[in-house]
Amino acid sequence: MTPPPAQAATLSTRSLLSGEGSRGGSLPSWAPWGAFVGALAFCGLVEAALGWFTIALMVVFGALVAILAIYAWSRPIEGARRAKDRAVTMAIVAAFGVAMAPLVSLLYEVLTRGARGISWEFFTSDARGVVGGGGAAHAIVGTLIITACAVVIAVPIGIMAAIYMNEYGRGPLRRALTFFVDVMTGIPSIVAGLFAYALFELFFGPGIRMGIMGSIALTVLMIPIVIRSAEEVLKIVPNHLREASYALGTPKWKTIVKVVLPTAFAGLVTGVMIATARIIGETAPLLVTTGVVDSLNTDPFQGRMQNLAVYAYNEYRSPGVMKQASYDRAWAAALTLIAIVMILNVIARLVYRRYKTEIR
């Protein structure tokens, strides 16, 4: 089937120039779509005939058959190499579709199911003394307080450490920090929760639950993300800005505060917001530290504190008498959480695009 080498060289040059295959011919532009739809229909019919029809199987087999079909179709017309290219392209697009399908389905389900549980009551009342009803106001407030405490602790430490790594650090401490920040990125969230529990148990005795414990656990998860992103943006502040500042006799600390940080400001804010979005939906560390409670608590240093993620889990886990209403509230909490995360991410990117300093 393969043409002799000399001919292959001239043909492929021509194919590059004219957009044709090494066999001279070329499939119509709708060929990949045609092959895919045809394969889907074929598999659907075969499965229906055999009596094992399910959508998932039809799509999986359909994609496989489509890859074979496009290869078999293209090979006699366009030659083996173009045929292989088409088959692989088809496989990659199919894999992309397979990978995106669950993610699209997830967003769709959260939107439709969550909308059912959203109501005025959901945002304004807590669930104290209510059987099979109530809202999630206590969870929303708790989420905000716990996350805010974590941000207040993690951001200064994280950014100062990033300044150390980028502006001051050298020698073993810097190397150790780089390495251990990487290690810290990999700490499972539940382990961070256990750490916070173990820390507070030592001082307050067993069974302790407080909002601030959750914040400490989240701090452990947030710091490495903040350092990573802050280091990244500090690194791209050009050295000539620092040197110009030194040349004017400005001390180093003032150079950092007045020149380096303002230049990197948009990037720092973006990094902090993305890190916040990452920790605001954490469930496991809060499950073991802040506990489950039905009423509003605004004091992070006293007693249990509910939050949205644990609320969603608990509504699913112990639905009580009115199961469906409870599940609806779990989805509503999920929708609220996803909305917060998405808004934080989008704002972060807008901030970056709008306020980033042009560095030349």
Of 35 and 292, nearer to other proteins (C-beta) is 292
Near other proteins by CB under 8 A, which window of 27-35, 82-90, 261-269, 350-358? Answer: 82-90
The one among 3, 44, 169, 319 contacting other proteins by CB under 8 A: 169
Of 120 and 175, nearer to other proteins (C-beta) is 175
Of 120 and 191, nearer to other proteins (C-beta) is 191
Amino acid at 12: S
Q: Does the protein bind other proteins through residue 150 (CB under 8 A)?
A: no
Q: What is the separation of C-alpha 193 from the centre of its chain, rounded to a whole number of angstroms?
A: 20
Q: How far is the CB of 94 from other proteins (least distance, A)?
A: 8
* 3: alpha, beta or left? (left if phi > 0; alpha if psi -120 to 50): beta
- Site for other proteins, residues 307 to 336, rule: CB under 8 A: 309, 312-313, 316-317, 327, 330-331, 334
The one among 106, 130, 350, 359 contacting other proteins by CB under 8 A: 106
224 close to 185: Cβ distance less than 8 angstroms: yes
Whole-angstrom distance, CA of residue 75 vs CA of residue 86: 10
**Short-list 155, 123, 161, CA closest to 141:** 123
The one among 77, 191, 261, 339 contacting other proteins by CB under 8 A: 191
Near other proteins by CB under 8 A, which window of 93-101, 123-131, 234-242, 262-270? Answer: 93-101
Q: How far is the CB of 337 from other proteins (least distance, A)?
A: 6
- Site for other proteins, residues 233 to 292, rule: CB under 8 A: 248-254, 256-257, 274, 277-278, 280-284, 287-288, 291-292
Give the tokens for residue 185.
Answer: 């990125």
**Short-list 257, 269, 291, 289, CA closest to 348:** 269
Q: How far is the CB of 199 from other proteins (least distance, A)?
A: 5
Give the tokens for residue 204.
Answer: 């307050």
227 close to 272: Cβ distance less than 8 angstroms: no
The one among 188, 238, 262, 320 contacting other proteins by CB under 8 A: 188
Using CA atoms, how far residue 279 sits from 110, 174, 194, 241, 358, in Å, is 19, 26, 16, 34, 30
Number of residues that bind other proteins (CB under 8 A): 107
Give the tokens for residue 160.
Answer: 């100062």
What are the helix (H) ranges across 236-290? 239-247, 252-255, 261-280, 284-287
Interface mask toward other proteins for 2-41; x: CB under 8 A: -------x--xx-xx-------------------------
Q: Does the protein bind other proteins through residue 77 (CB under 8 A)?
A: no
Q: Does the protein bind other proteins through residue 59 (CB under 8 A)?
A: no
**Short-list 298, 245, 277, CA closest to 344:** 277
Beta-carbon contacts of residue 345 (< 8 Å; ≥ 6 apart) = 273, 274, 277
Of 1 and 198, nearer to other proteins (C-beta) is 198
